[in-house]
Amino acid sequence: MTDKIDFRKSIDAYRAPRGRFRIVDVPDLRYLMVDGHGDPNTSPAFTTAVEALYPVAYKLKFASKRDLGRDYVVPPLEGLWWADDMAAFTTSRDKSQWNWSLLLMVPDWIDRAMFDTAVAQAGAKTKPVRLDDIRLEPLSEGRCVQTLHVGSFDDEAAVLADLHDEFIPAQGLRMTGRHHEIYLSDFRRVAPDRRRTILRQPVTAEAAPSKPG
């Protein structure tokens, strides 16, 4: 029997404190990805993206265990979020302006051939609507600030405002990349006030002001 790897335990970046911000260096990781736009509560593309990702993720997990002797727990769903005006996530909270990519992390030993086979197998019977939109890509975030949010997604706005406008500037940092959420709870089954979500923001050091003369 092979040991089953749980990346939530083995990768430090899947840990975040509640009630405070933590600076962490995130390793380069590879993901199944699907893109979309609009309010995740009403956009059919969001639902069909989730429905396409999981069959591929589990085909890869089973192939890894069967063919390579390497078993693992499918990691939690994640999302990258952005908008032309980031106030759409804080003060205006205008979900119609949101762009997103849904992600499921896959181990680095999963190769392109295994991915192609998993996609074909996932569509062999009842093909998920957005199956052809799934891609396998690396994500390099580097230094990030993150925290654990417990509660409704709509209660994130105040936390994000504090992160964007207070903590990051106070540390001599500035935001880069896209707002990243890691859904430790299955939001399809867990009540809003009990949802556990890692909120992550990639950052870089603020450039020092140039010296006069």
- How does pLDDT run across 132-174, given as a tens digit for each residue? 999 999 999 999 999 999 999 889 989 999 999 999 999 999 9
How confident is residue 83, by pLDDT bands cut at 50, 70 and 90? confident
Q: Mean pLDDT score of the chain, rounded to an integer?
A: 91
**In terms of Cα–Cα distance, which of 37, 23, 151 is closest to 95?**
37
Q: How many CB atoms lie within 10 A of CB 194?
A: 10
Greatest mean pLDDT range, 71-75, 87-91, 93-97: 71-75
Contact 55, 130 (CB under 8 A): no
For 168-171, which contacts have Cβ atoms below 8 Å and span 24 or more sequence positions?
168/201, 168/203, 169/206, 171/23, 171/145, 171/203
Q: What is the pTM of this model?
A: 0.91
